[in-house]
Amino acid sequence: MLKMRSFGRAAALALAAGLIAAAPSGDQAGKPATSGEGGARPGNEYAITYLTKDYDEPIPLSLLDKEIEDQGVAGARVAIEENNRTGGFLGQHFSLEEVKLPRDADIAAEAKPLLAAGQDLIVADLEPDDLLALSDIPGANNALILNIRSSDDDLRQKSCRHNVFHIMPSNAMRADALAQYLVWKNWDKWFLLKGTAPSDIAYAKAVKRAARRFGGKIVEERAYKFEAGNKRADSGHQQIQTQMPAATQAAPEHDVVWVADTVEGFGEYLPYRVYDPRPVVGTQGLTATAWHRAYEEFAGSQLQNRFERAENRYMTERDYAGWLAVRAIGEAALRSHKTSAPELRDYFLSDDFTVAGFKGKGLSFRPWNNQLRQPLLIAAPRALVSTSPQEGFLHPRHVTDTLGYDEPESKCEMDTLAGRM
pLDDT at 408: 95
pLDDT at 415: 57
Enumerate domains of the chain plus CATH numbers: 3-169+292-375+396-420 (3.40.50.2300), 172-289 (3.40.50.2300)
pLDDT at 66: 82
Assign 285 to helix, strand or coil: coil
pLDDT tens string, the chain, 421 residues long: the values are: 344 444 333 333 333 333 333 333 333 333 333 333 444 455 689 999 999 999 998 877 777 788 899 999 999 999 999 999 999 999 999 999 999 999 999 999 999 999 999 999 999 999 999 999 999 999 999 999 999 999 999 999 999 999 999 999 999 999 999 999 999 999 999 999 999 999 999 999 999 999 999 999 999 999 998 765 545 454 467 778 999 999 999 999 999 999 999 999 999 999 999 999 999 999 999 999 999 999 999 999 999 999 999 999 999 999 999 999 999 999 999 999 999 999 999 999 999 999 999 999 999 999 999 999 999 999 999 999 999 999 999 898 999 999 999 999 999 997 544 443 3
What is the amino acid identity at position 389?
A: P
Taking Cα atoms as reference points, which of 170, 171, 159, 169 lies closest to residue 414? 159
The span from the CA of 29 to the CA of 32, in Å, is 9
Helix H or strand E encompassing 208? helix 198-214
Taking Cα atoms as reference points, which of 149, 101, 141 lies closest to residue 123? 149
pLDDT at 299: 96
pLDDT at 239: 76
| Structure letter (DSSP) for residue 27 | T
pLDDT at 42: 56
Entry pTM: 0.88
Q: Name every residue whose Cβ is closer than 8 Å to that of residue 216 and which is 6 or more positions away in sequence.
A: 179, 182, 183, 188, 189, 190, 210
Which contacts of 294-300 are long-range, i.e. CB under 8 A and separated by 24 or more positions? 294/379, 294/382, 294/383, 294/384, 295/358, 295/377, 295/379, 295/384, 296/384, 297/358, 297/360, 297/384, 297/387, 298/358, 298/359, 298/360, 299/358, 300/358
Q: Name every residue whose Cβ is closer than 8 Å to that of residue 135 and which is 6 or more positions away in sequence.
A: 143, 145, 161, 163, 164
